[in-house]
Amino acid sequence: MRSADMRASGKRSTASSSRQHECDCDDPSTCRHAVKGTDAKSQAKAKKAQHDDLEALQITFYEIESWIEKTTPVLNRMTKELEKASVHFDKRKKERDIEPRQEEMVPPLASTSIPPTITTTTPTTSEEQQRKVQWTFSFEPQGSMSLETNITSIDQLVDAVHKIKLLARPEEIQQLDNEVPLINVQNNNFQQQEVDPQDDKEIEEKPADVDPTLEFWSTALGLRPEPQFFDKGVNDTAREVADQVSPQILQYICQIYWDCLHPKFSGDWDTFWHRSDDPKRNQLCVDSALAIVFLHVVRHDKTICPNGHDIARVYFDRARELLTDCFDTPDCSTIEALMNLAMFLVLCKKHSQARLYMGLGIRIMLELGMHRRRNLPEDLVLRKRYLKAFLVVYYNDLVLAAYMVDCAQLDDKACDIDFYEMLTLNQELMDNDLAKFDDKTIAKETFFVHLLELAKIGKKAQILTDDRAQSKGEPSSRWIEKVAVLESSLNLWYRRLPDYLRIDPSPSTSTSSSSSVSSNQSSYYPRRRKQHQHYVSPGITPSPPDTASPPDLTQSMDAQELRDQSALLLMLQYQTQWILLHKSFLPASLSRSPVTSPASESLPPRVSFQSSKSSPNRYANLSHAICTDAANRIVVIADLITQQYGWCVFQQFVNCLYQSATIHCRNTLSRDEGIRRNARYMIKRILKILSNGSIHYQGLPADLTICLQQFLTLHGMHMDVDGQDTYGLESGDVGDLWGDDLTMSSEMPSTGAPTPNAPLSQEALQKFLVEGQVDSVIMDYQVDGLPVKMEPEDVFMTGIADDQIKNWRCKFSSTNAPHLAHRIP
């Protein structure tokens, strides 16, 4: 009743107010009281809408709270499982950290040396807590789940995911590994400790025969930190410069890339810009190629393009953005881009990321079936493209493995591609007018094919030597037969080379053939570096003065120069394979530091190797002779390449020089004065070659030089490359290192033996075979009789008159004596 009266009163007041407005105001639209009433209504509506939103939000919160309460048991269970897995990770890390500390507490023995390891400090409790893998699950309002962890690198993430799967379902992981045998997955020490810890214990307890300072490849790779330009990102100036590079400068930089003899996807200007019919994929290939082109040119001359790193990073980021849209339907262009980006990361020392890009490209290649000949298309043009793509992937995989000090990801047992087929395909394409290849293209691809076929043998040799490193004592006959098979493979590879590729950089009485590299030949790359020394990319430094002579940016290497350089590079790799194959047989006496310094006068003038059949390793002398001869030849070839062409890390030139250095470092520890003297001279030449590389770009050559000098200093043999070393050997004074007064060992056969200045001749070898003295030759043939005589001041002839002398090791290196006769051509 009361409320009804109030409503009535309210109506009367409203009506009275309305009548008052009608009376007092002629224009209601301008009436102050009317506007005030309208604002009140709007505010009421807004408050009502806000109230409705708050109610809806409250209901949402209630629903989320209810959902969280229902899923809490699941979250707790998953968190406990992850914490359980984290404990396993931390436990194994502690075990690995404790083992080096226990080894450091053991006093070193005089008769053994510790294998090369990376010295680490045992982390404290707080550091271990921080390194412990931690997991936290949380839910987002949209219904998604978030996982937070303290993992900071891709390696940790991949390793954690693999180990979690292994702990959860080990049988499925094993089945997956059996289904995909083409990728060599490395789990470090995790699976080894689980499966067979006793074997690891035996390996760790086995005394090492090699001085840790003799193998310094990993140490050199770790000396220089990662390039800073990659981490600091891309600035606007670099983007502007990348878009302003003139076509003339770009073509010059690309020409250096195309003339550099390492396998690549494009070889000229047309193929560089046309990689795919899809415009987006084509742009992906071009950007990724430009990234590696600008980063590559710095490896030839750091003054050509000082801002090349920044420009390369711009194109790398562009390619990486385009790459995300090209995984739905992968093709050759996707593989090409992944390979370019992987090699870019290799040069930036981002090895873990590079391995991910490389592995992804390999998996796409496997999906396309490019690793099997039966899966290759019948169309000749497309078949050639697939073969070349596989060839480039194979080579890049080897380069990455070398700089990661790890095994290659491709498994040769699952691949049956014959690289020699590319040569026959080129001829068929030209005969059928399906393609036209100039002489330069044929020269390059011929080199690529023979290089990769040699790399196949090298991978087998590496596996064999790794097995040998785990064994003790004298090698078994079965193991020796495997070595003989690989030697026969090297012999067959050598025989399949064209004549112009089979050069011998050693003195010869015959004149050089037209296809041989002459020391008087005009040096192409050094001349081009001098011409372009003051030129840089536009936008950073001013142009050179008008008085400077402009460089000829259209100049490129001709086919003959490519053939000559190809011959040197192939022989460089060929000699390296012999070192890798026989390095594990070297005698321990040449792998350990003597009690006194090699420079000590207390050493006897000559100590011959043991040659009795009771020697712990009866084949060590022959392997030492082979390795020393190959190491000498590598230095000679490296000198020629450095003088005439320059060299690049993409060619694995540094790897070959490193292997030669390890042999000569071993020889400096010998008690034989002649061996030591030869080794010191060769190390001096190696240091000169590395210093030449350091001038053109900073990086691995300088780091190898540091490690080599540290080795010499450690053993009292500090060497000044441009002056005089601790032995009084003047720079450039070869003296009698290769002269006639270098006497043979008293153990050398007196009848029919070769002179100290030449390899074993064909006639002498036949004489020993007929007289049944093969075993005696294998046992007693000393290093003094093997090195090829080299003239001072880098005067080398390159005649190829005697094929038997050039390839003598293929006929006289097998330790299986009964099979020597039928291997002689």
DSSP-derived secondary structure for 5-64: HHHHHHHHHHHHHHHHHHHH-S-GGG-HHHHHHHHHHHHHHHHHHHHHHHHHHHHHHHHH
pLDDT of res. 168 = 52
Does the structure show a pLDDT above 90 at 682? yes
DSSP-based three-state secondary structure for 815: coil
Taking residue 133's Cβ as centre, other Cβ atoms within 10 Å add up to 22
- pLDDT for res 705: 92
Q: Which two tokens stand for residue 332?
A: 């050759």
Q: 653-668 vs 700-714: helix axis angle to the nearest 10? A: 0
| Per-residue pLDDT, 755 | 27
Which pLDDT value is given to residue 692?
83
Residue range 667-687: mean pLDDT, rounded: 92
Burial of 303 per CB tally in 10 Å (0-12, 13-18, 19+): middle
Average pLDDT over residues 357-366: 92
Residues 6+ apart with CB under 8 A from 212: 113, 114, 115, 116, 117
Query: How much is the pLDDT for 316?
Result: 93
pLDDT surpassing 70 at residue 174:
no
pLDDT surpasses 90 at 451: yes
Predicted pLDDT of residue 553:
46
Q: Which residue has the higher pLDDT, 391 or 17?
A: 391
CB-based contacts of 430, cutoff 8 Å, min separation 6: 436, 437
Helix runs in 125-278, H state only? 125-131, 154-168, 170-179, 190-195, 197-205, 217-223, 228-231, 236-244, 247-259, 269-273
pLDDT value, residue 742: 27
Q: Which of 774, 749, 783 is nearest to 824 (CA)?
A: 774
Best-predicted range by mean pLDDT among 83-87, 176-180, 541-545? Answer: 83-87
Q: Buried b / exposed e across 532-570, counting CB within 10 Å, b at 16+?
A: beebbbeeeeeeeeeeeeebebeebbeebbbbbbbbbbb
As a whole number of angstroms, the distance between CA 787 and CA 792 comes to: 14
What pLDDT is stored for residue 160 in this prediction?
66
466 or 671, greater pLDDT? 671
In this structure, what are the phi and psi dihedrals at residue 735, rounded to the nearest 5 degrees? 60, -135
Q: Which range is least confidently modeled, 252-256, 455-459, 590-594, 816-820?
A: 816-820
Q: Which of 186-190, 255-259, 402-406, 493-497 has the highest mean pLDDT?
A: 493-497
**Lowest mean pLDDT: which of 53-57, 499-503, 505-509?**
505-509
Regarding predicted confidence, which is higher, 215 or 63?
Answer: 215
Confidence at 134, pLDDT banded by 50, 70, 90: low
**pLDDT band at residue 128 under the 50/70/90 scheme:** very low
Mean pLDDT for the chain?
68
- pLDDT at residue 399, as a whole number: 93
Q: What is the pLDDT of residues 292-326, one digit of tens each?
A: 999 998 888 777 887 888 899 999 999 999 988 88
pLDDT-derived band at 161 (thresholds 50, 70, 90) equals low
At 5-42, the pLDDT tens digits run 555 455 444 444 444 444 455 555 555 555 566 777 77
Indicate the domain borders of the chain: 62-100+123-179, 227-435, 499-539+562-606+618-823
pLDDT at res. 615? 46
Is 727 or 485 the better-scoring residue by pLDDT? 485
| Residues 753-765: tens digit of each pLDDT | 232 233 333 344 3
Of the ranges 303-317, 544-558, 767-781, which is most confident? 303-317
Of the ranges 69-73, 267-271, 590-594, which one carries the lowest mean pLDDT score? 590-594
pLDDT band at 257 (very low <50, low <70, confident <90, very high): very high
Kindly indicate the confidence band of residue 719, based on its pLDDT and cuts at 50, 70 and 90.
low
What string of H, E and C letters represents the secondary structure of 292-323? HHHHHHCCCCCCCCCCHHHHHHHHHHHHHHHH
What share of the chain has pLDDT > 90, as a percent? 28
Q: What is the pLDDT of residue 636?
A: 93
pLDDT higher than threshold 60 for residue 537? no
Mean pLDDT (whole number) for 701-719: 87
Least confident of 64-68, 143-147, 792-796: 792-796
Q: Which of 81-85, 180-184, 445-449 has the lowest mean pLDDT?
A: 180-184
Residue 523: its pLDDT value, please? 35
Segment holding 136, helix H or strand E: strand 135-139
Q: What is the pLDDT of residue 697?
A: 72
pLDDT band at 244 (very low <50, low <70, confident <90, very high): confident
Residue 352, pLDDT score? 86
Of 120-129, 250-259, 365-374, the least confident: 120-129
Looking at the chain, the whole-number percentage of residues with pLDDT higher than 70 is 53
Mean pLDDT to the nearest integer, 694-712: 85
Average pLDDT over residues 69-79: 73
- The predicted pLDDT at position 159 comes to 66
Task: Tell me what pLDDT residue 489 has.
Answer: 94
Q: State the average pLDDT over residues 573-596.
A: 73
* 3-state SS class at 799: coil
Q: pLDDT band for position 145 (50/70/90)? A: low
Average pLDDT over residues 270-277: 89
